[in-house]
A = this chain, B = another copy of it.
Amino acid sequence: MLSSGQKIELLKVIAHPVRIKILEELAKGVKCVSDFEEFLELRQPNISQHLALLRDHGIVDYYIDGRLRCYFLVDPFVPDLLDLLKKDYHQLLPRPACCPVTKKGVYPGDRKK
Binding site for B on A (CB under 8 A): 1, 4-5, 7-8, 11-12, 14-17, 20, 29-32, 34-35, 38, 63-68, 70, 72-77, 79-81, 84-85, 87-93, 95-96, 98-100, 102-104, 106-113
Chain copies in the assembly? 2
What secondary structure prevails in chain A residues at the interface with B? loop
Q: In the assembled complex, how far is the CB of residue A97 from the closest CB belonging to chain B, in whole angstroms?
A: 9
Contacts of A4 in B (CB 8 A): 20, 85
Q: From A8, A72, A88, name the one whose CB has the most chain B CB atoms within 10 angstroms.
A: A8
Contacts of A73 in B (CB 8 A): 93
Contacts of A65 in B (CB 8 A): 99, 102, 106-107, 111
